Copies of this chain bind each other. A is one copy, B any other.
Amino acid sequence: MTEKIVYCEYFELLKNKCRGIYLDSEANITVKSPASMANVGPGFDIIGVALSHPNDILSIYIRKGKGDLEIQVEGEEVLQGKKNLVYFIAENFLKSCDVLQTSSIELKLKKGVPVSMGLGSSAASSVAIVEALRIALGIELSKRELILLSACGELYAAGALHYDNVSASYLGGMVLTEHNSMEFLKLPVLDRAFFSIIMPTSLSGREGKTMEARKLIPDKIGLRESIKQSSAFGKLISSLFLNDIKMFGEAINIDFIAEPYRKAMIPYYSELKKEALEIGALGFNIAGAGPSVFAVSDSEKKAEELGKSLVKYLQDRGISAKYLITRPSVNGVMEEEIIRSP
């Protein structure tokens, strides 16, 4: 097994704040961490939304021991054993806190979020392990610090620190990353939004996909396009506070940064968008870095119709695909079970 060497500065946070914390009890802790969707139209790199499902489930079993760290990963598509980013975060986290000497820890990840599909799979796992260790160790860190730590998983998985998926998975709802101050603002969640997520399954599972997808985007953007992007983003933010699903749909149709370049990676993208809007989607765009796409509607029935029709559209053209219906989730990562035996 080749080891991936990644240094994430946020582990220094733990060294400064948490050195010398010791585990003195046995414990079983299980957390559930939601999938998420970044970009959401005109919000490239600045917004993410937590989804009601799918989720990653992570359990951590702490026993007296000699500092062993073991991991078991369920899910064929995802990196197994010590290659999984959950192990990377746990190992660095525990080292930074000096906690492994008197305990042994076993991790069990049930991977529910599809990998490399644009649904924040690495973020869901990263947030899960950070939250589980926070609970296990009783560490007092701010939400902001916990998000920064979770972003170490993005650095490990995608080669860059992104905050849009991890902040959504941590906090729940739609979350704005304000890049100038590195703040995370949880925004209101639309009451009636349904997402039909279409996954072209033949394109899944490619490692390094997010990094490739970023390279497609030019490093300059026209002034007019930047203005139009910001104005659409302002409309998107307003639609959340106004709880206006129609306005939200119109806003998420627009993107001058990622969609024009990334759509080439997705077979029949433009045709699919046209089809979705004709069937009655309120909005349509790429999910995160793709290759999944999503349609927005205001009823479960319409969402099902969109899912079925768009999958059929792709299948009729020889592209294997499946869909899932999900909603924005008010909740982020949550504890499922905590059992301590002192």
Task: Name A residues whose Cβ lies closer than 8 Å to a Cβ of B.
Answer: 42-47, 176-181, 183, 185, 187, 217-224, 226-235, 237-238, 241, 250, 254, 257
> Of B179, B217, B231, which one neighbours A180 at CB under 8 angstroms?
B231
> Of B181, B218, B219, B230, which one neighbours A230 at CB under 8 angstroms?
B230
Contacting pair B223 A217 (CB below 8 A): yes
Q: What is the oligomeric copy number?
A: 2
> Of B42, B183, B226, B228, which one neighbours A221 at CB under 8 angstroms?
B226
- A176–B236 Cα gap in the complex (Å)? 11
Min CB gap A58→B, angstroms: 30
Shortest 10 CB-CB contacts between residues of A and residues of B: A241-B241, A46-B231, A237-B237, A226-B226, A220-B220, A179-B231, A179-B228, A230-B230, A230-B233, A178-B235
- A262–B187 Cα gap in the complex (Å)? 33
- Residue of B with least CB distance to A226: B226
Q: Which residues of chain B are near A228, meaning CB under 8 Å?
A: 179-180
> Of B176, B218, B234, B257, which one neighbours A46 at CB under 8 angstroms?
B234
Q: Which residues of chain B are near A47, meaning CB under 8 Å?
A: 234
Min CB gap A47→B, angstroms: 7
Task: Show 24 A/B contacts (Cβ-Cβ < 8 Å), sorted by A.
Answer: A43-B230, A44-B227, A44-B230, A45-B227, A46-B230, A47-B234, A176-B231, A176-B235, A179-B227, A180-B228, A187-B238, A218-B223, A219-B223, A219-B224, A220-B222, A220-B223, A221-B221, A221-B223, A226-B226, A227-B257, A229-B230, A230-B230, A234-B234, A234-B237
